[in-house]
Amino acid sequence: MIYLASAPDLSDVNGRFFAQRKPRRSSKASYDRATEAHLWKVSAEMTGLTKTD
């Protein structure tokens, strides 16, 4: 994490998954839209936030 936070060549990179200092595709499960929606709903409820489109 320190490398990713401090590497000058990665200063414009965000929202990427890294493994061993290299960008990688995250697990297949992380792209599941139903899981994403459920996680957002639960998180919003627990924090008092609502989703805005």
- pLDDT per position as a tens digit, 22-52: 999 999 999 999 999 999 999 999 998 875 5
Cβ pair 50, 44 in contact under 8 A: yes
Cβ pair 44, 51 in contact under 8 A: yes
Question: Whose structure tokens read 């595709």?
Answer: 25
**Distant-in-sequence, close-in-space partners of 41: CB < 8 Å, separation ≥ 6:** 51
CA atoms within 13 A on the CB side of 24: 9
Question: Which pLDDT value is given to residue 10?
Answer: 93
Question: Which pLDDT value is given to residue 15?
Answer: 87
Question: Which pLDDT value is given to residue 24?
Answer: 95
Task: Return the closest-CA partner of residue 15 out of 29, 26, 3.
Answer: 26
Please say if the pLDDT value at position 6 is more than 70: yes
pTM value > 0.85? no
